[in-house]
Each structure stands twice: as C-alpha cells, then as structure tokens.
Amino acid sequence: MPNTVTRAQTVSMHGLGVVCGLAAGVWLGGAEAPTKLVNVGISPFAVSLAMVLGVFVARWTLPTLLKGTDYVFSDLFTRPHLMVWAVLAGALWAVANTLTVFAIRDVGLAIAFPLWNANSLIGIFWGWLLFQEMRGAGFRVGSRVLGGALAIVAGAILLAFVTVQHTNTGHARAVHGILAALGASLLWGTMYVPYRKAYLSGMNPLSFVTVFTVGELGTMALLAVTFGGGVTHLHAELYMARHVVFWIFLGGFCWVIGDLFQQYATKYIGIGRGIPLSNTNQLWGLAWGALVFGELAHVSGEGRWLIVAGSLLMIAGAVFISSAAAPAREQASGRDAISRECERYGLSLEECVAAQLGARHGDGEKTKRPWWDVLIVAVAVTIFLWLGLQAEVPPLAMNTFWTISLCVVMAFAALGCGWLLWKRTRFE
C-alpha cells in the first residue's frame, strides 16, 4: 500500500511541476523585457545592477510573505552546509544575467532568448551525471529526452545563423551577442546543480533563494564596480537614469516570481525536465520582442519565418523532454540520490522524501508573524514607491494593446499556479 500511495503522489507532483514550469516560462519571458532599456544609453552593468537590486528585494520579500522569516531561517540552519552552495549559485546567476544584457543589446530579445535557453542541455547533463536523473528511464523516455535535446540544439543553430544574416548590426557585434547568450546558457545550466542538491536535501526553494541573493548581489556589485567605471561612475549613471531605473528594478522583481516557479518545477520533476519546461519563456520572450517592441520589423520575410521555425523547434524540444515522466526505475534512482545526500550530511531520509513530495507543509507554520516580517515588507513597498514616483514612460516604441494583454497573461499564470502550490503543498 505505501508503494502505491508513493507512486500516485509522484505522478501527481509531476503534474504540479509541469504547471510550475509553464508559469515560470510566462514570467521569465516577461521579466527580461525591461532590459530593452539598455538600448537607450544605459550601460549593461548599470542595467544588470539595477535588476539585481530588484531581485534582492524580491528574494527577501516573497519568502517573508509566503512562509515567514522564522520558517526560512529554521530551514536554513537545519542544513547550514547548503548556504555555501547558495552563494555560489547566486554568483553564477549574476555573471549570466550580465551576459544576457550584452546579448540583448547586440542581437535583440527575440534572438537572444532561444540561444541562452540552450541551458536545457547543460541541465540534462548535470542532472544525469550528479543526481542520477534519467538512470533507469528506459529507451522510450530516454529517446524523448535525447530527441528534445537535439531539437533544442538545431533550433539554436538556426537562430544563430539568422542572427548573423538578417540583423542590421555588424557581423562582429552579432557574433559577440551570440557568444554572450551561449555563455549565459552555460552558467545558468550549471547554476541548477546547487539548487538540485538543496532540494534533494529537503530544503524549501523559498529558503534557498534567500541566501542565493547574497551571492548574486555581491558578485554583481563587484562586476559593476570593476568593469562599469567604479562606484562614482555607476552612481552618476544610475542617478541620471533614475526615470527608468524603476522599470529595470521591476523586471528583477518579476524575474524572481518566474524563478521561484522554475525552482518548484526543478524540485518536483528534476533539472532535466524542469529547465526545458521553463524554457518555454522563449515563446514569451519572442512575443514581447516582436509584438511589443517590434524587433522583427526590419527582418526580411524569409528571416522571420526562420526565426519562428527555430523558436518553435526549440519549444517543441523542451516540451518533448518535459513530457517524459519518470518511470518507476528512474524514481528509484532519484530516491537513491536523496539517500546519498542524507547519509553525507546526517539528514532524515523520511523528511527529505516528504519534502520532495510536498508533504511537509505543516512544518514551521505560525498564526502570528514577528514584527520584522512586517518591517521587511514595508521597506520593500517604500522602495517601490520611491522609485515609482521618479519613473517615466521609457522612450521606446511599445504596442499598448499587446503590453496589456501579456501582463494579463502573467497575472493569470501567477495567481493560478500560486493557488495550486498553496493548495497542494502550502509552498513547500
């Protein structure tokens, strides 16, 4: 009987992971849109730093709202060895995020997105090598993953070719943009190793990202000061661009919402499936770039068809991979990976398995929050108001109808997936 229940729970969590991955795609696609502001004279380092500040605020505010700081710190100090991994993951994210800003500047949002989404391949490799994902999957499931991976590679190659042939930027600049996007792909694919390690150990994504943000903010500050002209220059640049900093800051906050959904997907269905599914953000990135910002206006008819074909090929590959649900033998390999982490760090196997199934949601719940939870949220609201009062409409040509429509889709995805997570796991 217990095995039957466990198998049913695993299938159920696969469905929840798929929904989280799709919601992540919507938000990750929309959150990158504000980085278009790099084309109005703001340096990539200033854009990335402003975005990371928004990420930092969000990574403290959202966990506080959803679970409370008492729960978060209790979860962290139960597994203190994971804090170093969280800082490392944050550092990788900061470098990758900076590379995406360069990629968007050089080749545009609609082109850069599918290139850095090749992180699916990196994630599949690390999941197989380090966490026994796909072990025991069998030919049917394995061929789906391999076929999807090949589709992603083919789509990336096609889009890279179209970029060089059909953009109005110089050849060298286009190549630099492609390399920046692929570099971000490598770093983001590797970044999920610490995440997966944390989730196998039973940690909540909300707890992990709280420490994660220390690594990303520290690394981004170091990059910005070192390569962005120093503290004085960055301060002057951000002050002069204060009328648009709010939108970049908001983009960072929105990115965290998508990233949290992505982490829940990674927790429940693994790296090899969770990342490709969240990489449907390519569809939403293409929608924002083409429909809102008109990025494809100067591309030839043939080039547009090739871009659409490449994008669809990558999306199809990601969906193909994510639809390959883990069979019983692969699930057993996953439990072996959990057992290995528990033995290494002296953790409870029962608790870690329960967390993997979203069944530990009663832990750490309190009816009354401490005063500092209210303070954290109040500070976040104050920062938003302060930046918002200085904001102006960005000097970019934007389609109002499509902007509103895509924002509605983002709200629907967040509310729908958030409700499912709360109902099924209480955000565990």
Rounded to an integer, what is the distance from CA 117 to the centroid of its chain?
10
| Contact (Cβ atoms closer than 8 angstroms) between residue 177 and residue 106 | yes
Report the candidate in 196, 210, 202, 190 with the shortest Cα–Cα distance to residue 83. 210
Q: Is residue 156 in a domain?
A: no
Listed in sequence order, the residues at least 6 apart from 54 whose beta carbon sits closer than 8 Å to its beta carbon are: 248, 249, 250, 251, 252, 253, 255, 256
Q: Which two tokens stand for residue 182?
A: 């692929």
Q: Is residue 252 in a domain?
A: yes
Q: Is residue 19 in a domain?
A: yes
Q: pLDDT (tens digit, 9 = 90+) per residue, 305-355? A: 887 888 888 788 877 877 777 788 888 888 888 898 898 888 888 888 888
Q: Is residue 336 in a domain?
A: yes
Q: Is residue 117 in a domain?
A: no
| Contact (Cβ atoms closer than 8 angstroms) between residue 124 and residue 271 | yes
Q: What domain range includes position 406?
A: 2-107+172-270+326-425
Q: Is residue 164 in a domain?
A: no
Sign of the dihedral defined by the CA atoms of residues 177, 180, 184, 185, in that order: positive
Q: pLDDT (tens digit, 9 = 90+) per residue, 192-243? A: 899 888 888 888 999 998 899 889 889 988 888 888 788 888 888 888 888 8
136: left (phi over 0), alpha (psi -120 to 50) or beta: left
State residue 35's pLDDT score. Answer: 66
> Block means of pLDDT (10 residues each) for the chain, length 428 residues?
46 82 91 69 79 88 90 90 91 87 76 76 86 82 80 74 56 77 90 89 90 89 84 84 84 90 90 83 80 78 80 81 79 87 88 78 60 90 89 79 93 94 87
| Contact (Cβ atoms closer than 8 angstroms) between residue 116 and residue 242 | no
Q: Which two tokens stand for residue 281?
A: 């953000």
Q: Is residue 224 in a domain?
A: yes
Alpha carbons 155 and 307: distance in angstroms, whole number: 9
Alpha carbons 322 and 334: distance in angstroms, whole number: 16
Structural domains of the chain, count = 1
State residue 110's pLDDT score. Answer: 63
Q: Is residue 90 in a domain?
A: yes
